[in-house]
Structure 1
Amino acid sequence: MRHGTHSNRAVRVQTPQSRRGPLWQALGIVAEILLTAAAVCALYIVWQMWWTGVEAEQVQNETTKSVNWSDPAANGGDVKIAKAQEGEPPVQPENPKYGDLIAQVYIPRFGSQWHRNLVEGTTLEQINRHGLGHYQSSQMPGQIGNFALAGHRNGYGQPLGDVDKLQEGDPIIVRTQDYWYVYHYTRYEIVLPTDIWVIAPNPENSSVNPTKRMITMTTCEPKYTTPTHRWISYGELSYWAKVSDGVPKELATTDSSGAVKFAISETPSIASKIGSLDKVVYLALVTWLILFIAAAVAWRWPVLRAIRSGERRRPDASIYGLLVRLQPGVMPIRWLLLILLLFAASAALFQWTFPWAASNIPFLRQMSNFVAVPE
C-alpha cells in the first residue's frame, strides 16, 4: 500500500533573456544604418530609372494638350490610310523657337506605347523634360540634308533606350502639326562625343553637299555606365503625307472586321497621373497623424508601459525597434504607422532629396545628366 505519493517533476521558471552586450548592440545599429543606406541607394536608382521618366511623361502630356493638333486616332474611331504625296516635302514649322514643340516621333519597333515629343533644342533642360530634342543647326523634317535629334538612352523615359533593337527598314515616323514624314532606318555607328560631323548636313561625307533627306538620332553608349561614346542611328526619307488624309500605313492596323485603327496607344500611364509627390507626402503624414492620435486615445503605449512595469525586458538598442515602440496602439497599428512614415520619407526623397543630390553632387550629376529646372 502506498501512502501520499506526489510528483517529483521540477517546475521551470522562465526568466527574461538578458540584453546583448554593448558591442553587439552597436554592431546592430551599424547594420541598420548600412541597410538603410542600401535602401536609399536602391530608391535613387528607381528614381533615376523610373520616376524621372514618369515626370517626363507628365510634361509631355501637358505639352501635347497645350497645342491644337488633331488626334491621329480619330478619338478611337476608324481612320484612313494617308496617301503618300509626291513633290517637295513641306517644311513645318519654319522658324521654331527654343523649347517649342515641333513634332511627335513614332517608332513601332519600340512598342505600341512608344511615342515621344520632339522640341527645339538639345540642352538637358529640354531632353530631360520633353523626350527628344532637335539640333537647332540641323535641317527640319523632310528637308534635304540631315534632320538630327537627340534623346536619353537611360532615365527620363529613356526615349532611345532600344536603339540597338532597330533593324534595317524599320519605320521612323515624324508627325508635325499638318504632315507625316516617314523615314526608314538604314544603319548605325558608334562614335566619340567629339565626332560632331554625325549631325552635319551630310554625315556620310561632311565635305560634300547633301543630296539625301536623312534623319539622325544620337544617344549615349554604353547604356548603363558612364557614356564614353555615342550611338548614332541613321535613316532616309521614304515619303511624306498629310495628317488631314489619315495616318501612314506604318502606323495602322486592321481588325477582324476590316476597320483601320491607329496602331499607337496614346493613353497616359497611371503613374503619370499622380502629379507632384509633395501632395503624396502631405497626405501620408496627415493620415499618420490621424491614426497616431486615434491609437494613442484608444490604446496609449502598451509596449512602453510593459517595459516600465517590468513585464517585458528592456529591448536591445535599435533604430527601427525604437520607432516601432514609439508608436501607440497594438502591434498591427504600430507597424502600419511606421510604414506610413517610411512611405512619406521615400516620397520626400523622390520629390526633394534626389533632385537636389543629382543637381549638386558632382558624381551624381555626371551619372544622372540631371539639371534643375526652375518652376
Structure 2
Amino acid sequence: MSDAGVQPLTRRAARQHSTPRKRRKRPPRLTFLGVLGELLITAGVFVLLFVVWELYWTNLGANREAQAHRDTMTESFSEHYTGFDGNGADPAVPGIPGEAWGLLYVPRFGPDYSVPVLDGTGDEIDSAVLGRYDSSSAPGEEGNLGLAGHRQTYGAVLWDMDTLQEGDRMYLQTANGWWVYETRQVHIVDPSAVEVLDPNPLDPGGPADGQWLTLTTCHPPYTVLERMITHAEQVDFIPLADGPPDEIADAVYAADLEPAPQAAMGILEHHDAVSSYDPNEEA
C-alpha cells in the first residue's frame, strides 16, 4: 500500500492532537501587607488569651488562695486571742508578711462580702486579699491603717469601691473582735499621691487625729492611670465574746471561723442567758 497520500503532521497539527498540558499554578507571592496581616492576627490571638488569663484565670487562682488563708485563720485566731478590750493597738496583729490576721466586711459590697487581711502589698495581695502597707498603723492605734487591693484582677476584691457612700460602715475582724469604721470620703488621686496614707488622711502632713482606715485600688477599671481612695473613721470596737454586729452577723457565720475557746464560752454564756429569759416571769 502506498504512503503517497498521507501527509506528515506539522508541528502545529501535532500540538493540536496532543494531550493539553496542565498549567502549574504559581505560588502566591508574600507581600508586605500579607505578612503584616498575619502578624496582626497572631498578636490579636495572644492579646485575647492574655485578657482571658488576666481577668478570668487570675481570679480563679486567687480565690483558691484566699480560701487557703481562711482555712488557716481559725487556728491563727485561737492563737492570737487575748481578751483585748479595745483600748490601744490590737495585739492580735502579728505583723508577719503574708500571714492573714483579719477579715474585712463591707455590707455595701454584698451581704456575704468578707476578705482576708494580711501584711504586705506586693505579691501578697495577688490572692484575693487586702494587704496592709508597711508604714500603716494597727487597728486601734492612733493614725492611718492603709489597705491595698486589686479592683479587676486577682479576686477583684475592691471592684465595687465606687459604690461606697458617706456613712457606710466597714467591719474589720481580728482574733479579739470587730473594729467598726464609718466611711468619710471617697476620691480619686494620682498614683504619686502617697499623702493619702498619712497619719491624718484628711489633713496630710498634720499630726495624727483619730484612728483611720484607708482603702486604695486602681482607677478607672482595667487601667492603672489613677487611684481610688476611701477614708473611713474608727467609731467602735466590739469584743469577740459579745458576738458579731447585727449588720454582718450572716456574713460572719458564712465565713465559718471558729472563735477562740475563751471567747466561745463568753458567746455561749451570753446566748444561754438570752435564751433562758422569760418576759412573762415576775422579777
TM-score (norm 1): 0.53
SS at match of 2:74: coil
Q: Name the aligned partner's letter for residue 230 of structure 1.
A: R
Q: Is the 8 A contact 2:85 2:239 kept in 1?
A: no
1:187 maps to 185
CA distance in 2, matches of 1:266, 1:43: 33
CA distance in 2, matches of 1:142, 1:158: 27
1:42 maps to 48
Q: 1:191 Cα deviation (Å)?
A: 1.7
CA distance in 2, matches of 1:65, 1:232: 30
2:273 maps to none
Matching of residue 234 in structure 1 with residue 231 in structure 2: yes
CA distance in 2, matches of 1:31, 1:194: 40
Question: Cα–Cα, structure 1 residues 70 and 101, in superposed 2: closer, same or farther, change >3 Å?
Answer: closer
Matching of residue 52 in structure 1 with residue 49 in structure 2: no
Q: Is the 8 A contact 1:122 1:133 kept in 2?
A: yes
Q: Is the 8 A contact 1:118 1:130 kept in 2?
A: no
Matching of residue 66 in structure 1 with residue 64 in structure 2: no
Query: C-alpha deviations, 1:31-58, integer Å up to 9, x for none?
Result: 8886565344223212101211111111
Structure 1 spans left out of the alignment, 5+ residues = 1-19, 72-84, 253-260, 268-375
Query: C-alpha deviations, 1:92-126, integer Å up to 9, x for none?
Result: 32541222212111112112343211111112x11
Q: Is the 8 A contact 2:105 2:114 kept in 1?
A: yes
The equivalences for 1:1-375 within 5 A come to: 23=28, 37-69=43-75, 88=87, 91-123=90-122, 125-225=123-223, 227-252=224-249, 261-262=250-251, 265-266=254-255
CA distance in 2, matches of 1:111, 1:87: 27
Query: C-alpha deviations, 1:140-191, integer Å up to 9, x for none?
Result: 1122211111111221111112111111111111111221111111112222
Number of residue pairs matched by the alignment:
226
CA distance in 2, matches of 1:220, 1:120: 19
SS at match of 1:231: strand
RMSD of aligned Cα (Å) = 3.2
SS at match of 2:152: coil
SS at match of 1:55: helix
Structure 2 spans left out of the alignment, 5+ residues = 1-24, 78-83, 257-283
Question: Cα–Cα, structure 1 residues 159 and 215, in superposed 2: closer, same or farther, change >3 Å?
Answer: same
Q: 1:63 Cα deviation (Å)?
A: 1.7
CA distance in 2, matches of 1:113, 1:43: 31
- Greater Rg, structure 1 or structure 2? 2
TM-score (norm 2): 0.69
SS at match of 2:192: coil
Q: 1:137 Cα deviation (Å)?
A: 1.1
Q: 1:28 Cα deviation (Å)?
A: 11
